[in-house]
A and B are shown apart, each in its own frame.
Chain A
Amino acid sequence: MKRKKKDERDQMTFKRTWQNMFFALGIVWKCSPLRLIYHILSTVIGALFSFLTGTWLTRYIFNALQNDIAFNKVAAVLCGIYGSYIVFNIFCAAFNRIMTPILKLKVAKKLNHMLFEMVANVDLSCYDDTKFYEKFTMTIPEAMGKVDDFAMYLISWFLDGMVHIITNAAIIVAIEPVLILLSFAPLVTNLIFGKCANKMNFKYEADSREIGRSKDYVNRVFYLADYAKETHMSSIGTVMVRKLSEALKRMHSLISKDGFKRGAYYFFSEYLIDYCLIYFTAIIYAAYCLIVKGSISIGDCIVISGSITTVSGCISWVSDTYIKMRENSLFLDNMREFLAYEPKVTTAENAEKPTGDPEIKFDNVSFRYDNTDQDVLKNISFTLNKGEKIALVGANGAGKSTLVKLMMRLYDTTEGKIFCNGADIKNLELESYRDLYGVVFQDYRIFAMSVRNNVLLGYDRDDDTVIEALKAAGVYERIMELPEGIDTILTREYSEDGTVLSGGEYQKICVARVFARNAPIVILDEPSSALDPIAEYEMYENLLKMCEGRSAVFISHRLSSATLADKVLMMEKGEIIEYGSHFELIARGGKYAEMFAKQAESYIEKEGKEDEE
């Protein structure tokens, strides 16, 4: 009973493996049928040729030698076969070099297009789900390799092996049918011990990879510039070398234990069975047939020993290929799962576009991340009125960033609703709702594109808008100094000629984005990184300018900026604990007042401080 279940499971993986394989080939077929047809045909024909020039010709020649066939005739056959082989090779060379790379690119382009569109619409919450994230970060960069290259290689290895097996087996059967049994010996060992060996290898690899990780870590500590100052100023290096020698000891004991087992297994299967047993039995039996029985010729004797090794070799080759297919299948599973994913944060049916200047209202909103049981936000209610500026303050991890993400509908609420001018934001068209917001993230990104594209970010506006936006952000003059003005490519991500600007200038470009888009609501995640006071001051100026005439929400780390807001929203552990204008909150003397006093303390004149004490 139990056994049956297990078999079923294996069958499933077998079925699944082939399903996935055909799925990958199907993608290639859809993108470029020519690529698939050529690939399969050339593989099969190539394998047939290799059989002809190898086994078949050898047999023909030996028989010819023994039967005194004229040299001219042998030479004609030989030249005929080799001649057509050469023609075939020339054709393949031309196709492989001219067509294949182009067809591959065609497949890649279509496939990545599909994937990229998928990614851009995946819910942001998927990025928090490490398992899902791993799946798709692994999927995308490897998609090309695994779907096209790998599936194609695998199928051709498989076909190549099969053709060799069939042709050589046929010749063995023609000569001495009994010997065909021999060539299946590796299959038997594989069936009996294969799984065991796989498990053993898997464990060995996993263990040594784990030890390898520690080795890599120690290596990094010594070569990364980040660690250099610390290693030079302390003797932590000796601790690290000790860790390394511990890793060495663990590795040695792993090798002594598992390496011996693995060596013994491979000696047994690779050498004893696959080689020794098959090769020598074949030779001895063939010799017996030749000398004692007199049933075969010398030519057959040579061919048969060659063919048996070929068949058994190809059998292990095909089963290796199958194992690789199964590995690849795991990846394809991920990819299929990813492709089958349906985003939850989507535009509902009959969705409307938001109209007028928006007023955003949180009504008793709670939120928790998937797969966690703790609320990140609890019962949040407040309203962002038209033109109002709200500062979000609170300790790290209080839920400030999450609140802003909910507002922009990067996530959907777990409980409660968010309204925009009275309409549930879930009933609004997603893209146009998000268009209401202009955002400068704490970890804003500059793209490796022209200044213009960095400002527009895909929105369709004319050059004047870009220039006006850059002017408003106070970076226009700097951009004009650049060799190609607003067409200058930023960052060196892919071109050595790219222009690198300072952090402050990049930030101004991000501010220009908001101007160019002319969004009614500005969201600002204040950078808490180290800026010198003057730069910080300038940054505030930039950001304030950006907020003029719009509603704004800013996440503030330095309370000094909270004073500029109409309302301050103080958060603690996912809840709003204080809400009101700066002066109201100071007057209330609660947490906000305490926090503010602590930060202000060292700035306020000494006399004041003495009074306090």
Chain B
Amino acid sequence: MKNKKEKTPIFKKIRRTVSNNLYILRAVMRCTPAYAILIMLQNVTNALFNVYGVYFTKRLFDLFETEGVTMGHILSLIIPYLIAGLVLAVIDYYLSYVVFPKLRETLRFKLHSELYRKAQSMDISCYDDPEFYNSFVWSMNTSDNEAAQVVERLCSIAYLIISMAGIIGIVATIDPLVVLIIAICVTLSLVFKMLGTKLGVKQETDINPVKRRKEYSVRVFYLADYAKEIRTSRVAKKVLDEYELAVDDEACVIRKFAKRWVAIHIGQWTSVDSIQDMGITLLLVWKVMSNKISIGDYAAVTNSVWNLYWNMRQFIDAFSGFVESSMYIEKYRTFLEYENKITSGKRELPKFKSLKVLGLDFAYESNEENTLKCVDLEIKRGEKIAIVGYNGAGKTTLIKLLMRLYDPSKGHIEYNGRNIKDYKLDEYRNNFGTIFQDYKVFAATVAENVLGGEYTPDKEQSVLDALHRATFDDKLSELPNGIHSNLTREFDEEGVNLSGGEAQKIAIARAFARDCDLIIMDEPSSALDPISEYELNHSIKENSKDKTVIFISHRLSTTRMADRIYMFEDGRIVEQGSHDELMKLGGKYAYMFNLQAEKYKQ
């Protein structure tokens, strides 16, 4: 029973390994077929040349032993070998310094473009799932290397097969026993290697937590973040103690494993390396002495022993490499084959009239508890809606649902009386201009940042307009190339680094620049000092008169201008109404407002 259970996974694993490796191979063939083909050709010719080299040595020493040989004989052996080597080397160097680097870059670009396209349309919820997210990050960072490696490994197997066959052919004609000795030694060294890997993994698991402690102490000492704390207290001593404790613990772990390591090490050195060398040399010396083989044969075999030994080891390593790659490719596949749960509808999006949330429940996948519970609300064209409440009450989650970055677990959202799932996704999302709490400025020009996409000259006016509305004019006049100035120094040494407040204005301009019906602001006032905040709030108020605005606010000072306020607590709407209504009601909102207002009233 148990046996059966174990067998199927192994078979399955092999199939999966093959299929994964083929999957990435297909990706390479799709992106840069030239890369795969050229590497293959390079490996095959190199293998043939390697065999030629062994043959060359044998012939050379045989010639040395031959009676009456002249320099002419020797040169006629050397020159063809030399020329063949030269030609191959020229091609080799050209390939590895010019052609392959270029193809690798192209491969990376093409693979990554595919990944990016996928990432952009991937459900946001994927970012919340750590496992999926890891595989996604992995794909982004190393998939191109892995792909190239699979190709290289496959081609190197071709190389190894040809090279081994050739060398074994030559050596076996001289003495088949040598091949057998090498084969045994390779097997033994593999066994020791496997034992070593196993022990290594074990030691790693024991040592990792200790290492983390060590690294933490080091971080505390060199990061600027901790500098003030260290200087104004005596915590440094404490952290140092922790560090030294961790070092002692590490020494304990090392001691625990040391003996087993020594055993493996000795096994590998003595049984494999030394015995192989000694055994083969003894065997061959004896054979030459009893006139069974020539000195040339002896030279050729000793020359090819290591050659063959390494070929065999690499051959076996290559296969374990496929298994390892397969694990990684699996991640890449999971990511590329992921099917979005949020899919586009077919309907064109009409002009905005109303947005209605009906009986909505929502839970993040990792959470058991609902983040939003039974939410009902309605937003009509031209209204200003404020959403207030404690941290973690579900306010930000709600706007994510409104933008359809997530779909609700229960209930639905209606746009002009129709479920938002029926509309085309990109049109629907484009109808929102959003200023996120954690807005980002991209390494692109001001104009591209404001447009959130490519700039064309006909959009100039709307960019300037949006920046003006976001009160960015003063800063804009300082910028060297106006709206075409590059932001951040990622691509451009001369790029402009904006302050927190200025960056926020760019984010706000982004919302204005869109020809959209709805503006969502997730507490846009955090990075500003009081005066700038005041000015910006006024400007936003002025400029969003004709738009529908939903804003999440922690400062209740901004809620006064709202037509309707929704107060959230623990995922539910607990109060709703205008500022005056809620103040009259004397509930949570009024309490909160009074708390804040108290200090300003005298």
Binding site for B on A (CB under 8 A): 53, 57-58, 61-62, 64-66, 71, 74-75, 78-79, 82, 85-86, 89-90, 93-94, 96-98, 101-102, 105, 108-109, 112-113, 115-117, 119-120, 124, 127, 133, 136-137, 140-141, 213-215, 217-219, 221-223, 225-245, 248, 251-252, 255-256, 259-260, 262-264, 266-267, 271, 276, 280, 283-284, 287-288, 290-292, 298, 301-302, 395-396, 405, 408, 410, 434, 437, 439, 441, 443-445, 447-449, 453, 457-459, 493-495, 513, 517, 528-537, 557-561, 563-564, 595-596, 598-604
Q: Is B250 an interface residue (CB 8 A)?
A: yes
Residues of A within 8 A of B285 (CB): 61, 64-65, 71, 74-75, 78
- CB within 8 Å of A: which of B435-463? 436-440, 442-444, 448-449, 452-454
- With a cutoff of 8 Å between Cβ atoms, the chain B residues found around residue A230 in the complex are 436, 439-440, 442, 452
Query: A93 contacts B269, CB within 8 Å?
Result: yes
Q: Is B228 an interface residue (CB 8 A)?
A: yes
Interchain CB contact under 8 A, A287 and B212: no
Q: Check A105 against B251 for contact (C-beta < 8 Å).
A: yes
B interface size (C-beta, 8 A): 146
Q: Once bound together, how far apart are the Cα atoms of A557 and B262, in whole Å?
A: 63
Q: Are A262 and B97 within 8 A (Cβ)? A: yes
* Min CB gap A338→B, angstroms: 11
> Can you give 6 contacting A-B residue pairs, CB < 8 Å?
A75-B282, A112-B243, A116-B239, A276-B85, A284-B78, A559-B530
Contacts of B220 in A (CB 8 A): 447
Q: CB-CB < 8 A to A396: which residues of B?
A: 499, 501, 528-529
Q: What residues of A have a CB within 8 angstroms of the CB of B491 in the complex?
A: 214, 217, 243
B201 at the A interface (CB under 8 A)? no
Which residues of chain B are within 8 angstroms of A61 by Cβ–Cβ distance?
281, 285
B477 within 8 A of A: no
Bound Cα distance from A230 to B231, whole angstroms: 40
Q: How far is the CA of A598 from the CA of B558 in the complex (A)?
A: 12
Are the C-beta atoms of A563 and B599 separated by less than 8 Å? yes
Interface majority SS on B: helix, strand, loop or mixed?
Answer: helix
Closest beta carbon of chain A to B531's beta carbon, Å: 6
How far in angstroms is the closest Cβ of chain A from B520?
10
A439 closest partner in B (C-beta) = B232
Alpha-carbon distance between A560 and B598 when the two chains are bound, in angstroms: 8
Residues of B within 8 A of A288 (CB): 71
Q: Is the CB of B64 within 8 A of A290?
A: yes
Cβ–Cβ < 8 Å partners of B501 in chain A: 396
Within 8 Å CB of A66, what residues of B?
295
CA distance A298 to B212 in the complex (A): 59
B123 CB → nearest A CB, Å: 9
A302 contacts B218, CB within 8 Å?
A: no
Tell me, in angstroms, the Cα distance from A560 to B71 when the chains sit together: 101
Q: Can you list, as one digit per residue, whether each of B523-542 has a CB less than 8 Å from chain A (1) or not (0)? A: 10010111110100000000
Residue in chain B with minimal CB distance to A136: B222
Residues on A with beta carbons closer than 8 Å to the beta carbon of B299: 302
Identity of the chain A residue whose Cβ is nearest the Cβ of B65 in the assembled complex: A298
Q: Which residues of B contact A259 (CB under 8 A)?
A: 97-98, 101-102
Tell me, in angstroms, the Cα distance from A384 to B229 when the chains sit together.
Answer: 23
* Minimum CB–CB distance for B216 against chain A, Å: 5
> Which candidate, B182-190, B315-323, B360-368, B589-597, is the interface stretch facing chain A?
B589-597
B557 in complex: contacting residue of A101, A108, A222, A602, CB < 8 Å = A602
Contact partners of B209 in chain A: CB under 8 A: 494-495
For residue B63, give the distance in angstroms from its CB to the closest CB of chain A: 8
Whether a CB of chain A sits under 8 angstroms from the CB of B254 is yes
Residues from chain A with Cβ under 8 Å of B596 in the complex: 533, 536-537, 560, 603
Cβ of B302 within 8 Å of any chain A Cβ, yes or no, is yes
**B534 touching A599, Cβ below 8 Å:** yes
Of A98, A276, A302, A529, the contact of B262 (CB 8 Å cutoff): A98
Q: Which residues does chain A contribute within 8 Å of B286, judged by CB atoms?
A: 71, 75
The smallest C-beta distance from A58 to any residue of chain B, in angstroms, reads 7
CB-based contact B298/A101 at 8 Å: no
Kindly state the separation between the CA atoms of A432 and B112 in the bound complex, as whole angstroms.
57
* Pick from B61, B216, B277, B281: contact of A302, CB under 8 Å: B61
B235: chain A residues at CB < 8 Å are: 447, 453, 457-458
* Interface contact A217-B390, CB-CB below 8 Å: no
What's the Cα separation between A115 and B221 when bound, in Å? 9
Interface presence of B82 (CB below 8 A): yes
> In the assembled complex, which residues on chain A have CB atoms less than 8 Å from the CB atom of B69?
291
Is B237 a contact partner of A458 (Cβ separation < 8 A)?
yes
Q: Which of A141, A533, A560, A598 neighbours the largest number of chain B CB atoms within 10 Å of its CB? A: A533
Nearest chain B residue, comparing its CB with the CB of A562 = B599
* A236-B444, A276-B82 known; A534-B390 Cβ under 8 A: yes
**Cβ B278 vs Cβ A78 within 8 A:** yes
Selecting from B13-21, B36-44, B135-143, B415-423, the interface stretch reads B135-143
Task: Choose the segment among B26-34, B86-94, B171-179 that binds chain A (4+ C-beta atoms closer than 8 Å).
Answer: B86-94
Q: Is B224 an interface residue (CB 8 A)?
A: yes
Q: Which residues of B contact A447 (CB under 8 A)?
A: 220, 235, 238-239
Assess whether B564 is interfacial by the CB under 8 Å rule. no
Contact A242 B454 (CB under 8 A): yes
Contact at B102–A252, with CB atoms within 8 Å?
A: yes
| B-side contacts of A410, CB under 8 Å | 228, 231-232
B560 within 8 A of A: yes
Question: Is B157 on the interface with A (CB-CB < 8 A)?
Answer: no
The reply to whether A238 and B454 form a contact with Cβ atoms under 8 Å apart is yes
Could you tell me if B289 and A65 are in contact, using CB atoms closer than 8 angstroms?
A: yes
In the complex, are the beta carbons of B600 and A448 less than 8 A apart?
no
Q: Which single residue of chain B is at the shortest CB-CB distance from A563? A: B599
Task: Take A116-B243, A602-B557 as given contacts and tell me if A298 and B453 are in contact as well, using a CB distance cutoff of 8 Å.
Answer: no
Q: Would you call B97 and A133 a contact (CB within 8 A)?
A: no
Q: Could you say which residues of chain A place their CB within 8 Å of the CB of B528? A: 396
Partner among B288, B403, B595 whose Cβ is within 8 Å of the Cβ of A65: B288
Q: Quick check: A233 and B432 within 8 Å, CB to CB? A: yes
Q: Are A599 and B127 in contact (CB under 8 A)?
A: no
Report if A105-B238 is in contact (Cβ < 8 Å); known contacts: A65-B288, A222-B115, A276-B85: no
Q: Is the CB of B262 within 8 A of A116?
A: no
- Complex interface residues of chain B between 181 and 226 (CB less than 8 A to chain A): 209, 212-213, 215-218, 220-226
- Whether B254 and A532, one on each chain, are in contact in the complex, defined by CB atoms closer than 8 angstroms, is no
CA distance A229 to B522 in the complex (A): 13
Which residues of the other chain, A, contact B481 by a CB distance below 8 angstroms? Answer: none
Chain B residues with Cβ under 8 A from A283's Cβ? Answer: 60, 78
Q: Mark B245-256, 1 if CB is under 8 A from A, else 0.
A: 001001100110
A437 to B70, CA, bound (A): 94
Bound Cα distance A217, B75 (Å): 57
Taking CB as reference atom, which chain A residue is nearest B85?
A: A276
A-B CB proximity, top 5 nearest: A263-B97, A234-B452, A458-B234, A560-B599, A600-B600
B403 touches A235 (CB 8 A): no
Q: Which residue of A lies closest to B268 (CB)?
A: A93
CB–CB B510/A227 < 8 A: no
Residue of A nearest to B491 (CB): A214
Neighbouring B residues of A443 by C-beta, 8 Å? 225
Give Cα A459–Cα B233 distance, bound, in whole angstroms. Answer: 8
Instruction: Say if the beta carbon of B338 comes within 8 Å of chain A.
Output: no
Across the interface, A86 reaches (CB within 8 A) one of B215, B270, B282, B405, namely B270
In the bound complex, residues from chain A placing their C-beta under 8 Å from that of B93 are 263-264, 266-267, 271
Does B140 lie within 8 Å of A219, measured CB to CB? yes
Q: A137-B222, A263-B98, A441-B229 are in contact. Are A537 and B595 (CB under 8 A)?
A: yes
A residues within 8 A CB of B247? 105, 108-109
B526 touches A530 (CB 8 A): yes
Tell me the residues in window 249-300 of chain B with beta carbons closer than 8 Å to chain A beta carbons. 250-251, 254-255, 258-259, 261-262, 265-266, 269-270, 274, 277-278, 281-282, 285-286, 288-289, 295, 298-299
* Residues of B with C-beta under 8 A to A603: 556-557, 593, 596-597, 600-601
Q: Are A248 and B109 in contact (CB under 8 A)?
A: yes
Closest CB of chain B to A51's CB: distance in Å?
14
Residues of B near A113 (CB, < 8 A) are 240, 244
Q: Mark B31-68, 1 if CB is under 8 A from A, else 0.
A: 00000000000000000000000000000110011000
